[in-house]
């Protein structure tokens, strides 16, 4: 059994700030993540949005990309291009969302990878 003297306290110097109306944990001022260990928030947001759109289309909420684009207030061309991210190879999605490796292509070019075979997607996206 542990006693009060055996307790270890860990203090992490974080601050909570509001950003866009939501609380966000801010790291210490001297913390600098290395460039190769961060995930691109734009890519993660685009993938999440694409999967949300795909789910809405699969459930029948929208029957065409044009209807979806009008509902979300974006250009049909933009929605069509980013919707392709929901059809990336599973290994590519895993590396993008869970991995800590940089992309070899831009977000724009990433939208065109789903048209290729799965092994080619992984090779072009990360090499």
Query: Domains of the chain: which residue ranges?
Result: 39-126
pTM across the whole model: 0.66
- Name the residue with higher pLDDT: 86 or 19: 86
Q: Average pLDDT in the 110-117 region?
A: 88
The pLDDT of residue 78 is: 95
- Check residues 40 and 123 and name the one with the higher pLDDT: 123
In the predicted structure, residue 34 carries a pLDDT above the cut 90: no
Residues 92 and 122: beta-carbon distance below 8 Å: yes
pLDDT for residue 10 is more than 90: no
Spatial distance between the Cα atoms of 52 and 95, rounded to a whole number of angstroms:
19
Confidence of residue 56 (pLDDT cuts 50, 70, 90): very high
Select the highest-mean-pLDDT range: 31-35, 57-61, 99-103, 111-115.
57-61
């Amino acid at each position: 059994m542990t006693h009060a003297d055996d307790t270890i306290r860990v203090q992490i110097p974080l601050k909570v700030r509001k950003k866009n109306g939501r609380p966000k944990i801010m790291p210490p001022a001297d913390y600098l993540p290395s460039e190769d260990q961060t995930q691109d928030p734009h890519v993660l947001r685009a993938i999440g949005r694409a999967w949300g759109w795909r789910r809405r289309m699969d459930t029948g909420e929208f029957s065409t990309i044009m209807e979806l684009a009008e509902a979300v207030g974006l250009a049909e061309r933009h929605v069509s291009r980013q919707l392709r991210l929901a059809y990336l190879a599973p290994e590519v999605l895993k590396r993008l969302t869970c991995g800590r490796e940089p992309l070899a292509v831009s977000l724009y070019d990433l939208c065109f990878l789903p048209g290729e075979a799965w092994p080619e997607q992984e090779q072009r996206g990360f090499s």
